[in-house]
Amino acid sequence: MCERSTANADSSGSIYVFDPGALTPAQLMGDACAICHAKWPRPRQPLGELPDGSEVFGCDECAGIVVAHNARSVRAHALAAH
Ligand SMILES: [Zn+2]
């Protein structure tokens, strides 16, 4: 009688979770872009987060790539609607 529905299925899938083992300490601390390692200009765009909830930052250019990747389904929908 106590069958529960999937109450934990609340992840929207919009936040990219980085693997801490694949990032350098500078990237983990937000001192370097999590994708291209650029330290200047200082990465300020949130790209995603670590499994512990810490934010991971990237440069403007890489943030654009991530956003485009995440918005792919949205763009496909827009194209279909056009
Ligand atoms: Zn970058």
Contact 41, 59 (CB under 8 A): yes
Q: Is residue 8 part of a domain?
A: no
Query: What average pLDDT does the segment 9-30 reach?
Result: 83
Q: Is residue 31 part of a domain?
A: yes
Tell me the β-bridge partners of 55: 49
Q: Is residue 4 part of a domain?
A: no
Q: Is residue 33 part of a domain?
A: yes
Indicate the number of domains in the chain: 1
Q: Is residue 9 part of a domain?
A: no
Q: How far is the CA of 68 from the centre of ligand 1 (A)?
A: 14
Check whether 8 has a pLDDT greater than 50.
Answer: no
Q: How far is the CA of 11 from the centre of ligand 1 (A)?
A: 26
Residues measured by CB to lie within 5 Å of ligand 1, the ion: 33, 35-36, 38, 58-59, 62
pLDDT of 23-63, one tens digit each? 999 999 999 999 999 999 899 999 999 999 999 999 999 99
| Containing structural domain, residue 38 | 16-81
Q: Is residue 43 part of a domain?
A: yes
Q: How far is the CA of 36 from the centre of ligand 1 (A)?
A: 4
Q: Is residue 48 part of a domain?
A: yes
Q: How far is the CA of 5 from the centre of ligand 1 (A)?
A: 40
Q: Is residue 67 part of a domain?
A: yes
